[in-house]
Structure 1
Amino acid sequence: MPDRFSTHNLELGDDVVVKRYRSWDRGEHHREWTALTLLAEHTPGLAPAPVDTALHAHPPTITMSRLPGHVLRGEHATDEQIRAMATALNRLHQDIPTRVVEALEPAPWGPATAVNNARTWADKHPDLGDDPLVHQAFRAGAAWLASDVPDKLIANPFPPVMGLADGNHANYLWDDRERRVWLIDWEDSQGRSVLGW
């Protein structure tokens, strides 16, 4: 049973997982299937392998291989787990050719969107309460957002890479037997994430 913030239901089989989307208006199911297919081709063993899909069903579903391990959400990652996360992300960012990434749809949450959203939120002047330190921090952040510094983050000179795009620790699966991290949940992924962002 998903929580109220979940965008999908998972059916766990012995060898496969069926992901049934609860929302897909942003093309999450297409994005995830594309990512799993590319990962299987260029970085096998990094993420679940694509098995089957019903992209045009209502709701759409994706069947993928079931991986061993447990998610790292709610845990303090150990040094070994952090090294394994770095190894997995380095492989993700280095093993898929730039030409392949450039052909992908851009991620829905990229640097330009992030900067624009942060500026919009700051312009709403939220209720900050009475703590003077909070007000001071908000003023400093708003001044930074009003400067041209955030715009420089958008113009990144690094080549695009495939990105997981969701840093939630629930998307990192720790395999205690193999002492490695698997990357899961690719519905917000795609290309043109950049190494400097």
Structure 2
Amino acid sequence: MTVGRCTHDLEFRHDVVIKRYTLWERGEPHREWAVLTLLAEHAPGLAPAPVEAALDAHPPMIVMSRLPGHVLRGEHATDEQVKATAAALNRLHQIPPQVVQEIEPAAWEPAAAVDKTRAWAGKRPHLGTDSRVQEAFRAGAAWLASTTPDKLATNPLPPVLGLADGNHANYLWDDHERRVG
């Protein structure tokens, strides 16, 4: 079965998933392969294991092991699933910072997020007639115009590995093992 996505297509086989990228100008295939390799070494079983890659092919492709479970997107998470998600994220965040520093940051790193948000605010979108929405936009735009957001781009804390998007389809609930991967 193949499922279409905006940046990639997925082909699910019995024991592997083949990911073919439809967009890759931000370096996603190389970054994902590096992260899968890192996780296989530092947190085995938390994510799919890397099997094969054709990173410079057109389109780039990654083959990874297929984890058991079903996606948590579109369903109400139980208390057990929330605790398991927290445990999985805690395990992810335990990877040593010096190892994480070797991975190229995602395109939505803090400095880029500040720049993109300022650009969006500068376009002055039509917000409708609700005065509360307009006031919230003015307050947000004023904050973005200050130097305060620039402090977000320089974080003195060590880096942690995390998901660059909040897509719940990236979380798999394993009913048998009662865990999230």
TM-score by length of 2: 0.92
Superposed, 1:9-24 pairs within 5 Å as 9-24=9-24
Q: CA RMSD of the aligned region, Å?
A: 1.5
Quote how far apart the aligned CAs of 1:112 are: 0.7
* Stretches of structure 1 lacking an aligned partner (at least 5 in a row): 183-197
Q: Deviations over 1:16-48 (max 9, x none)?
A: 111111122222111111110110001101100
Structure 2: distance between partners of 1:27 and 1:153:
23
Count of aligned residue pairs for this structure pair: 180
- Match of 1:77, SS state, is coil
Deviates more, 1:13-22 or 1:97-106: 97-106
Q: Which residue of 2 aligns with 1:89?
A: 89
Q: Which residue of 1 aligns with 2:109?
A: 110
Superposed, 1:32-181 pairs within 5 Å as 32-94=32-94, 96-181=95-180
| One-letter code aligned to 2:29 | H
Does the 8 A contact of 2:33 with 2:50 survive in 1? yes
Quote how far apart the aligned CAs of 1:138 are: 0.9
Identity over the aligned pairs, expressed in percent? 70
Quote how far apart the aligned CAs of 1:2 are: 4.0
Q: Which runs of 4+ in 1 moved over 3 A?
A: none
| One-letter code aligned to 2:26 | R
Quote how far apart the aligned CAs of 1:93 are: 1.1
Structure 2: distance between partners of 1:148 and 1:77:
39
Structure 2: distance between partners of 1:29 and 1:118:
25
Structure 2: distance between partners of 1:40 and 1:67:
13
- Match of 1:91, SS state, is helix
Q: Deviations over 1:120-178 (max 9, x none)?
A: 11111101111112111111211221222222222222101122211111111111221
| One-letter code aligned to 1:83 | K
Structure 2: distance between partners of 1:39 and 1:113:
25
Q: 1:59 to 1:87 in 2, by over 3 A?
A: same
| One-letter code aligned to 2:56 | H
Structure 2: distance between partners of 1:90 and 1:29:
25
Structure 2: distance between partners of 1:175 and 1:161:
25
Structure 2: distance between partners of 1:26 and 1:152:
24
Quote how far apart the aligned CAs of 1:117 are: 0.9
Structure 2: distance between partners of 1:10 and 1:104:
23
* Stretches of structure 2 lacking an aligned partner (at least 5 in a row): none
- Higher RCO, Cα 8 Å, sep 6+: 1
Does the 8 A contact of 2:35 with 2:103 survive in 1? no
